[in-house]
Every structure is written in C-alpha cells, then in structure tokens.
Amino acid sequence: MYRLFPLSYLANSTLYFERIRHLPAPVILDSGKPAGQYGRYDIIAADPAAQLSYQDQLTHISTPTTKQQLSGNPFTHLQNLFNHYQISCPSPQQTEIKALPFCGGLLGYFAYDLGRSLESLPEQTISDIDLPDMQVGIYGWAVIVDHELQTAVLMSTPLVNEAEAATILQQLNDKSVVQADDFRLSTPFSSNMSEAEYHASLTRINDYIHSGDCYQVNFAQRFSSRYQGDPWNAYKRLREHAPTPYSAYIETANGAILSHSPEQFLEVRNARVTTKPIKGTRPRGNNPALDAQLKLALHDSEKDRSENLMIVDLMRNDVSKVCEHGSVRVPKLFAVESYANVHHLVSTITGKLASNKTPIDLLAQSFPGGSITGAPKIRAMEIIEELEPHRRSIYCGSIGYLSFSGQIDTSITIRTLVCQQGEIHCWAGGGIVADSEIADEYQETYDKVNNLLWPLEETIGKRSG
C-alpha cells in the first residue's frame, strides 16, 4: 500500500539527501529553492528495486536477485520495465498522494549519445567518459519537498514494506552529520579546442548552412580539469552560485553527474505535453540599468528570435508524432527568463498526448532535444560528430522522472558536469545560424558557464580540513 510519512520542512533539502546518500544509487532532483526564482519540488530517492542501463548497444537490467542482458531498442526495454513495476495509482480518496509529482517510478538520466540507438550516426569523436548512455532505476520510495507549501513527506509505494519504510524514516530523521571530503581542483579548467580551432569549426558550420545542409547547428566546447575529494561538495558549492529549477545530482558506480540546468525538456501531466526550448542568451548586467538593457536587447534580437523559432518548429514536429492531431500549440513565444548569470529566450510548446502513446514514446520521438542539436536534427548531429573533438556523454541529454501515475518531467542537461576517475568535465555551446558572429558565439559559451567554472577554480590550492 501507499504510505505518507510527514517530515520536517527543510529549506535546504540537501540535508535529507545526505542522510540517505550512503544507500545504493542515490539521486536528488533539485529545484534550486529557496534561492532560485523558478521550480517548486525537490525529489530525493535511493536504493531502487531495479536498475536499467544501456551501453555498447546492450541493455542491462538488474534486481537484487536477477540480471538480464538484452539487445534491441533500449526504449522498448525501458517501457517493458516500467510496465512490469507500474503500480496502480492511489485511489481517488488518497488525494494527498495523487497530488504529489512523483509517486514511485523511474528516476535517472539519458545521455546525449543515447541518440545513437535511434539514428545511424558516424563515429568520429573521442569517447573518453565511461558512463552508460542511459541509467535509470525503479524507485519505490522518495522524499518530496514542496517549497511552495513548505512541506516535506516520505512517500512509499507497495514496493516497500512497513519495516523498510520505518528504517528509511529513521535515517531521514537522523540529524548526525557525515562529513564529505573537501573538493579541490588541481588545475584551472582548459578547453578541448583553441580559440582558433573554435573559429575554424564555426566557419565550417557557416559553409554547411550556406550550402543548404542545415539551418542551425548547436556547437559546444568542453572544459576539463582534475580534482580530488568529493563531487557532492562541488555540487553544493555550485548550487549556491547557480540556483536553477532543473538541477540534479546523481551518483553511479562509474561517476557523479552534477547538473544545474535551467531548461525543461519534456513534461506530461494529465496527458498535457509541455516542452520549453531555450535559444538566445545574454549575460546579466552588473547594475539594474545595464541588466534591463541586455534583457530588452535579447527580447528584440532578430537573430535570437530566428534561432529560437527554428527550434520551436523542430520541437513542434517532434511532439506532433505522439500528440493528438491538431492539439499542438505555442502559447508562449520568445519569453525572457532571467537566471543568476544569464537571460534566456524561452518558448513554450504544448499538446495532448495521444491515447495510444506513452510518455516513453514521447521521449523516444523527441530525443535528443532539438534545442541542443540544431535543424534539421539528424544532419546537425552529423556535423556535431564531425566537428566536436569529444563525445558529449551526459551533456545535452536529459535527467528526470516518470511517475507510476504517468507524469513525466525531464530537463535538458546543459550547465552539467561529470566527475569520473579524478577528472571533471563541463560543456558550453550555442546555436549557430547564418548571421552568427563567431566572436560573440565564443564569448557566449563563457557567459553560460563562468559561474560554474570560477567557483570550482577558487578551490585550487586549498588544503583539506
């Protein structure tokens, strides 16, 4: 049966995560509250009943007692796993549980390179991050923190028995602190391309655009360093500098993912589909007058509106494949949203999921998100593969949940870092169109991630203690 256990509301819900972090496969989906302007819920979970990963064209499914290795479409295996564990939604009388965004189900990540399972793409880039292209778990319990109502609960599903729920509750109420090792960078971040190489790649993209190959290509550079200590402390440090509504921290056997994304990918709630692509960026000003001027310049920019509109058209086409005919709309076009370090141009696309389609069908038809590929999508991905030196891994993939209730909410993993084997990587990119200025695009990549790179570079030379 479903159960709800009240918890004390903590504005900083990372404290609850730290109390269950020792359990297998811990994850926190973090709204960035209370500092962040957007977002409402934090979702914290661990110790899944089953795990699914996809790597080297094979899907691996494991439970405490079984292991499977499957070939074929990983999204089909994901749907089958979800169907196997899906538990009937709480009864209408259990209104408190039905009101929660997540009542058990899938939590995890989908790397950009999972797109290779859907399309035939060339293999030219260096693959040096050993993370599965997809890793999710079936989670039978979760802590849900609602920053709007200032409440917190432990929600447990029928996958968790009464004794197990009591143990989890005891751990969540244990206020003793387990100190994590300090995090320290060894060297400043360095890019995987020189400024001259960046310029050469954008010149090549411009040639492709003018020859009619594509309209837009999202091109990124990667920044890397070495580190010592605990990535969780790096995540908390960045959280202070970059509160964003689609933040997440995921620990795996292969490494840690630290995401501070402002961008929603796909949401389904009561069969209503929403996607909110971001295209168009300006830095924040250092005084109110300059900040307002930069915000207005973004709103009125013909180039940024054109870039945004191309991706709106692409995403409308993607979601239309699984939505009821004629239901897809664009209720918000070119809205400006402001974050700690940048203003973004954001549009909103909605539709109604067709009755014979599932949220996983929607994910498969839309993956990877058009805002981080370009248009047309497949040709843009081929050009990305040609010109970016390294595979993207988690960058420009997605993190999120699919609840047993059928509700899904996922991010686009921009502003996202990976820690693995003593190395840390962070990416930044932008949409390149016919009238892009190379120098401006190059600077924009730094505008997007400086507030992630600088706070970590401040740890260089610090002693643990």
The residues annotated as belonging to the active site are 263, 279
The pair of three-digit structure tokens given for residue 151, joined into one six-digit string: 């409440």
CB 350 within 8 A of CB 272: yes
Nearest to 314 by CA among 365, 262, 359, 357: 365
Nearest to 50 by CA among 77, 76, 14, 73: 77
Tell me which amino acid residue 393 is: S
Alpha carbon distance 373, 311 (integer Å) = 9
Q: Residues near 220 by Cβ (< 8 Å), separated by ≥ 6? A: 384, 388, 392, 395, 396, 427, 428, 429, 430, 445
CA quadruple 273, 400, 369, 305: dihedral positive or negative? positive
Alpha carbon distance 425, 219 (integer Å) = 16
Q: How far is CA 109 from CA 77, 161, 172, 259, 318, in A?
A: 15, 27, 24, 11, 20
Nearest to 394 by CA among 217, 117, 131: 131
